[in-house]
Amino acid sequence: MTDPIQERVRTAVGAALDKKAFDLDVLSVGELTSIADYFILCSAGTERQAASIADAIQEKLREDNRVKPLLVEGTNPGRWVLLDYGDFIVHIFTEDTRRFYGLERLWGDAPNVTEGFASETALRFARSGDGAAPRNARKTS
């Protein structure tokens, strides 16, 4: 049986990649904090793209998993949009804002588990015939 939290994270990752989010990272923060099990961090080229990614994630999670965010912050102006789903939090940044705040540095002890979510998402898209598998998820070492 699939873990429902991980399935929702996969759905969010897939929706972000569909909207051309880049530098996507999934951090497993559950052992470090009680606020969430996962952080999804991704970048957008513009504030408009950040809003589009946020909208796509919300729509896909509502359709596929019947969940809505507990909190949405930062949609205006959109340099850092935060979607809090309780078990996981999505951070969508413009490039400059992501560099400035450096959440990867702040949560540097959190394991980067992107490969498990992005590769499975890419395989799901490839199998479903929805087009080419996303290729823009950041690889982990």
- Residue 90 covered by a domain: yes
Mean local confidence (pLDDT), 21-47: 94
Q: Is the pLDDT of residue 130 over 50?
A: no
- Residue 141 covered by a domain: no
Q: Is the pLDDT of residue 123 over 90?
A: no
The CATH number assigned to the domain holding 8 equals 3.30.460.10
127 vs 32 pLDDT, higher one: 32
How far apart CA 64 and CA 86 sit, in angstroms, is 17
The dihedral over CA atoms of 33, 36, 39, 44, expressed in degrees to the nearest 10, equals -120
Q: Is the pLDDT of residue 41 over 70?
A: yes
How far apart CA 83 and CA 97 sit, in angstroms, is 16
Count: domains in the chain: 1
Mean local confidence (pLDDT), 57-72: 96
**120: pLDDT confidence band, cut at 50, 70 and 90?**
low
Mean pLDDT taken over the chain: 85
Q: Which two tokens stand for residue 43?
A: 């970048």
Strand residue runs (E) in 15-97? 22-28, 38-44, 71-73, 80-84, 88-94
Q: Is the pLDDT of residue 118 over 90?
A: no
- Residue 139 covered by a domain: no
Q: Is the pLDDT of residue 122 over 70?
A: no
Domain that holds residue 62: 4-128
How far apart CA 92 and CA 101 sit, in angstroms, is 12
